[in-house]
Amino acid sequence: MLKRFKKMLFKIRNPNVLGETLILTSKEEVWSMYQNLSEEELAEIKTNFERLQGRLQELEQKRAGLVELAGKEVQEAAQALAIGNPAKVSKDMTHQVELMDVAIMLVKEDLQAAEAEHIKTQLAKIEKQRELANKERLAAYAVWQTAETAYQQARQKWNAAAWENDSACRKLDSQAEPLLTRLAEIEPAVDEIPATRTVEAWLDDLRSGKLKNQIMPGMDQNLDAALPIYNNETAVIKEWVRQDKLARKAHGGTVKPPECVKHYTKKRIQELTDSLHYPVRAVDTFARRAAD
């Protein structure tokens, strides 16, 4: 609806000069003019509009009464004429109706101008509310933009740190590997400790999370056998979760879960992968290490 105002000329009274009328070609000029009116001036515009509405209703009711009286007078004169007793019809009644028509026309013209001015005050209020809403939206967007920039910067720093950490761990692994090999060659073999539980029993505790800490090599030969299986399964699950997230993000697809997932609850998988946020380059390295 507001679009059609672009091609209109706005005729309004000048609130600063009594009796002066202004012609404005921009609705923004109109809104600005009416937004600067005082509460008293706005109330005066509304009161004038309502007063003219009441005056028009009053005149229309009086006219209807005059027309009704005139009709009765004509009917009575016709009945008198029908019985041979001619009666005169008052011309004054007809004249009063004509005068009332002119008065109603004049009041309608004034009412139309007053209504237009009243509507413009209402539109000016709406426009002011729109401006306030837009300011709030822009302020909220500025806050979001600042937070988004800070988040992206922090994410870049974290990715760089994760990549550096992965590189450092690979170097440390390469340094430790020959030392562990040599230690195994020169250290006397430890007598094998009898198994107290089956491999599957140890695996169940590891998979469920019941057994997390205080795991030392040599505690139980079946535990020693279960640990590599468990470590391989968790590595496979983490890689599957990572690949699945990438697939969902890239094309909305999914990656088929590995067979070992059936041994883990959804809560346990979530626990194992909560801190899984490898950057893309680091993930490729992780995948190679898991494969080895």
Per-residue confidence at 280, pLDDT binned at 50, 70, 90? very low
Question: Which of 61-70, 84-93, 258-267, 275-284 has the lowest average pLDDT?
Answer: 275-284
| pLDDT, tens digit, 9 for 90 and up, residues 34-57 | 777 778 888 888 888 888 888 889
Of residues 255 and 19, more confidence is placed in 255
Number of C-beta neighbours around residue 34 at 10 A: 23
76-90, 99-113, 221-235: least confident range: 76-90
User: Mean per-residue pLDDT for 189-214?
Assistant: 77
286 vs 289: CA distance, rounded Å = 5
Distance CA 182, CA 242 (A): 35
pTM, whole model, 2 decimals?
0.37
Instruction: Give the pLDDT score at 179.
Output: 86
Check residue 229 and give its pLDDT.
Answer: 93
Average pLDDT over residues 58-74: 79
pLDDT surpasses 60 at 277: no
The DSSP output letter for 193 is P
24 pLDDT above the threshold of 50:
no
Report the distance separating Cα 164 and Cα 248, nearest Å.
Answer: 27
Q: Greater confidence, 264 or 190? A: 264
